[in-house]
Chain A
Amino acid sequence: MKQNILLFSILTILASCSKDSTAPANDPNEKGVVVLEFDNRAGTDDLILNNQQYRNATGESLTISKFAYYVSNFRLITASGQVYTVPQDSSYLLISEDNKASGFHTLYNVPAGDYTQVKFMIGVDSARNTMDISKRPGVLDPAEGAADMYWSWNSGYIFAKLEGGSPASTDAQKLFRYHIGLYGGNFNNGPRTLNNTREVTLTIPNNGKAIVRRDRRAQIHFFADALKMLNGTTNVSVAVNPNVMAGPYSEKIADNYTQMFNIDHVHNE
């Protein structure tokens, strides 16, 4: 009997340590915390600005001096298909490699559940792009976070920026600049302009899940591969197109960045 009690105690302790076997979330009011971490990469490697040489799919050698992007409109999805939409006002993230803190975002009051997928937008939706300036604080304020990510002459956000240098570049300064924006506006009821916002749905690998409970904290670790802005459905050459901004070719890079993200793993604490 004594032995049984001991065994039971050990099992109980073990169970409470192994956090992957948490009781299912039953209380509809239970809320937890999710941390989104965006880790910028270059292929299989960590992204190192300025000093590290990389090679794109067309074989050009290059260095990267700037990598920044907006991700927005986050939705967390459970295996059974229940969707939690992060409140829109707190759903705009600007991640910039030169500011490591920008890669971490904490979502509070996420309904308890076992989430297996994350859906989000690359860029800033047309509604926010046309919203009153007072509704664009922080990373969306052209005088603050968006200072470097906003076109004043064609008003709208730059969704993704990749800049650097390459001996192969045909730019006078041997640089390349990819500033991708345009959100599909249709002013004066005219035809819609190019829409380079993209939606992606990512699945947590290895049947993993982000376990959200009152007393726990799930951290979803995303990878963003900067080189995939150049490599993908269109392999971009810095010799042929050293500067791409608000022009038709930007669409090709937007298609590329659709494939730029993946979830590498999740920590359930």
Chain B
Amino acid sequence: MHHRYRWGRGIVLPLLTVVTSVACHKQSTPPGPATNITFVKPAGFPEPVYRLADNPVTNDGFALGKVLFYDGVLSRDGTISCASCHIQANAFTHHGHDVSHGIEDRLGTRNSPPIQNLAWSTTFFWDGGVHDLDLQPIAPIENPVEMDDKLNNVIGKLQRNNRYQQLFEKAFGSPGINSTRMLKALSQFMVMLVSADSRYDRFIAGKENFSETEKKGLALFEQRCASCHKPPLFTDNSFRNNGVAPRPFGTDSGRAKITLLEEDLYKFKVPSLRNVALTAPYMHDGRFGSLESVMNHYDNGFYPTASLDPVFKSGFTLSQDDKQALIAFLKTLSDKGFITDERFAPPPGFVQGD
């Protein structure tokens, strides 16, 4: 799971790059060319929440953000990058891990969420403890079970790195590496991760046909699920207790951890369902390994606590047919273009761990 990829340890890599390009008589300038990167609001999407006017996405800012995203330099021992737990092929989640392992294989307590459509997200993390995308990366960098470093130390490492000195100057027009610039560059990369071209989107646009089962699933979804998983983002950004049973040991109190309110006990952020078929396992602690298990949960599998969402309090059932139709529909939310988009792909030299 350790990443061998690190951007330009000191000057070795940049030197190698020069040597290689001279030797090959060929211009190779990793990271990959970021041509004409612009943020485009998909048709039917609301206005973004992220203040793009304060941090307009540029080719060089995005390119820098991408290098940072894929670089283990953000962690204490260089082994963990953002991409360790946010893998493009899985809509930037850590597929197959109920909770992610960070530095030295330390385990967290929550399932890593997809990074997609963050420009519309009002809060971050399962408990919404962070309210600004620019501030989000500090949490995994400083979390002892994730990257276990300190932001000031990371900035120091970047400041001493020639390659980063060049990338920051290119991105921001003047020399200098500081927290604002680093966080803004990461935000530029992250807001570009827009998923809005699934089969569902094309069906809505009249460019695609749905099978009868998918159509039935869509109708059911609109009736039963869409009040919380509200299209087009498939979340209403609220915090709710969907009746996932608290663990007897190490109970995660969820939103209440932030608000300190009893009524928020066991509430977690309603996740977007875009690309849901690619992002197993499910729920805040990744307890369900399949969509079938998720459907079974929503078939009266709720653990009754005082804060259980009212919608589940008076019984909420799904028939076997309903479950199959819903799963068929949920699979239409997979966005192949998003998970294969070259612009978001790892830069050359990146080795993905397990």
5 interchain residue pairs of minimum CB distance: A143-B179, A152-B138, A152-B139, A154-B129, A143-B151
Q: A153-B130, A155-B129, A187-B128 are in contact. Are A141 and B179 (CB under 8 A)?
A: yes
Q: Is B290 an interface residue (CB 8 A)?
A: no
Q: A155-B135, A188-B122 are in contact. Are A142 and B143 (CB under 8 A)?
A: no
Q: A143-B178, A143-B179, A188-B237 are in contact. Are A155 and B132 (CB under 8 A)?
A: yes
Closest to A132 in B: B54
Q: A134-B180, A188-B238, A193-B259 are in contact. Are A155 and B130 (CB under 8 A)?
A: yes
Q: Give the residues in chain A near B259, CB-CB below 8 Å.
A: 190-191, 193
Q: List 26 A-B contacts (CB under 8 A).
A: A130-B132, A132-B54, A133-B132, A133-B134, A133-B180, A134-B184, A141-B180, A142-B135, A142-B179, A143-B151, A150-B138, A152-B130, A152-B135, A152-B143, A153-B139, A154-B129, A154-B258, A155-B130, A155-B139, A187-B131, A188-B123, A188-B128, A188-B239, A190-B259, A193-B259, A246-B260
B155-195 contact mask (Cβ, 8 Å, vs A): 1 or 0: 10000000000000000000000111001100000000000
Q: Determine whether the beta carbon of A153 is less than 8 Å from that of B260.
A: no
Q: Give the residues in chain B near A11, CB-CB below 8 Å.
A: none
Complex-state Cα separation, A203 to B74, whole angstroms: 48
> Restricting to A190-244, which residues have a CB under 8 Å from any CB of B?
190-191, 193-194
> Restricting to B131-145, which residues have a CB under 8 Å from any CB of A?
131-132, 134-135, 138-139, 141-143
Q: Give the residues in chain A near B134, CB-CB below 8 Å.
A: 132-133
Q: Determine whether the beta carbon of A187 is less than 8 Å from that of B123.
A: yes
Q: Is B4 an interface residue (CB 8 A)?
A: no
Q: Give the residues in chain B near A103, CB-CB below 8 Å.
A: none
Partner of A193, one of B150, B178, B260: B260
Name the interface size band of chain A.
20 to 34
B69 CB to nearest A CB, Å: 17
Q: Most chain-B CB neighbours within 10 Å: which of A134, A141, A182, A185?
A: A134
Q: Determine whether the beta carbon of A155 is less than 8 Å from that of B179.
A: no
Interface of A is mostly: loop
Complex-state Cα separation, A50 to B311, whole angstroms: 55
Closest to B155 in A: A143
Name the interface size band of chain B.
35 or more
Q: Is B51 an interface residue (CB 8 A)?
A: yes
Closest to A250 in B: B260
Complex-state Cα separation, A133 to B258, whole angstroms: 21
B-side residues, CB < 8 A to A, are 51, 54, 122-123, 125, 128-132, 134-135, 138-139, 141-143, 150-152, 154-155, 178-180, 183-184, 237-239, 257-261
A193 CB to nearest B CB, Å: 5
Complex-state Cα separation, A247 to B260, whole angstroms: 7
Q: A152-B143, A188-B122 are in contact. Are A193 and B179 (CB under 8 A)?
A: no
Q: Give the residues in chain B near A246, CB-CB below 8 Å.
A: 257-258, 260
Q: Determine whether the beta carbon of A133 is less than 8 Å from that of B179.
A: yes
Complex-state Cα separation, A155 to B142, whole angstroms: 12
Closest to B263 in A: A191
Q: Give the residues in chain A near B139, CB-CB below 8 Å.
A: 152-153, 155
Q: Determine whether the beta carbon of A185 is less than 8 Å from that of B142.
A: no
Complex-state Cα separation, A141 to B152, whole angstroms: 9
Complex-state Cα separation, A144 to B177, whole angstroms: 12
Q: Give the residues in chain B near A141, CB-CB below 8 Å.
A: 178-180
A185 CB to nearest B CB, Å: 7
Q: Is A147 an interface residue (CB 8 A)?
A: yes
Q: Give the residues in chain B near A130, CB-CB below 8 Å.
A: 131-132
B165 CB to nearest A CB, Å: 16
> Restricting to A160-195, which residues have a CB under 8 Å from any CB of B?
182, 185, 187-188, 190-191, 193-194
A117-136 contact mask (Cβ, 8 Å, vs B): 1 or 0: 00000000000001011100
Q: Give the residues in chain B near A182, CB-CB below 8 Å.
A: 260
Q: Give the residues in chain B near A59, CB-CB below 8 Å.
A: none
Closest to A147 in B: B152
Q: Give the residues in chain A near B154, CB-CB below 8 Å.
A: 143
